[in-house]
């Protein structure tokens, strides 16, 4: 059986450790929040880039298609002239 003083010392030690752990948990939560915000910004930037690239590709495809059509029309005109 432990003495009363040993129990008191153990409780104080555990309370001190608990406070320390709570502070560390809060620090880790803040760090996790910051990391999540940074990742969210990166993901949004990548989504924006993807949208722009899709728009650019569609414009390029449309431009290429009209170019090809123009080339075919001029070839057909030469053939039938």
For 9-25, write each residue's pLDDT tens digit. 999 999 999 999 999 99
Residue 45 is predicted with a pLDDT of 98
Confidence of residue 73 (pLDDT cuts 50, 70, 90): low
| Distance from C-alpha of 34 to C-alpha of 42, rounded to nearest angstrom | 12
- Residue written as token pair 């989504």: 47
Percentages of the chain per state (helix, strand, coil), in multiples of 5: 95, 0, 5
| pTM, rounded to two decimals | 0.59
Residue 5 is predicted with a pLDDT of 95
Confidence of residue 59 (pLDDT cuts 50, 70, 90): confident
């Amino acid at each position: 059986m432990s003495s009363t003083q040993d129990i008191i010392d153990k409780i104080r030690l555990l309370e001190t450790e608990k406070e320390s752990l709570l502070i560390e948990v809060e620090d880790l939560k803040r760090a996790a929040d910051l990391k999540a915000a940074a990742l969210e910004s990166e993901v949004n930037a990548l989504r924006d880039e993807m949208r722009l690239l899709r728009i650019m590709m569609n414009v390029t495809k449309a431009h290429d298609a009209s170019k090809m059509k123009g080339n075919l029309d001029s070839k057909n005109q030469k053939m039938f002239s």
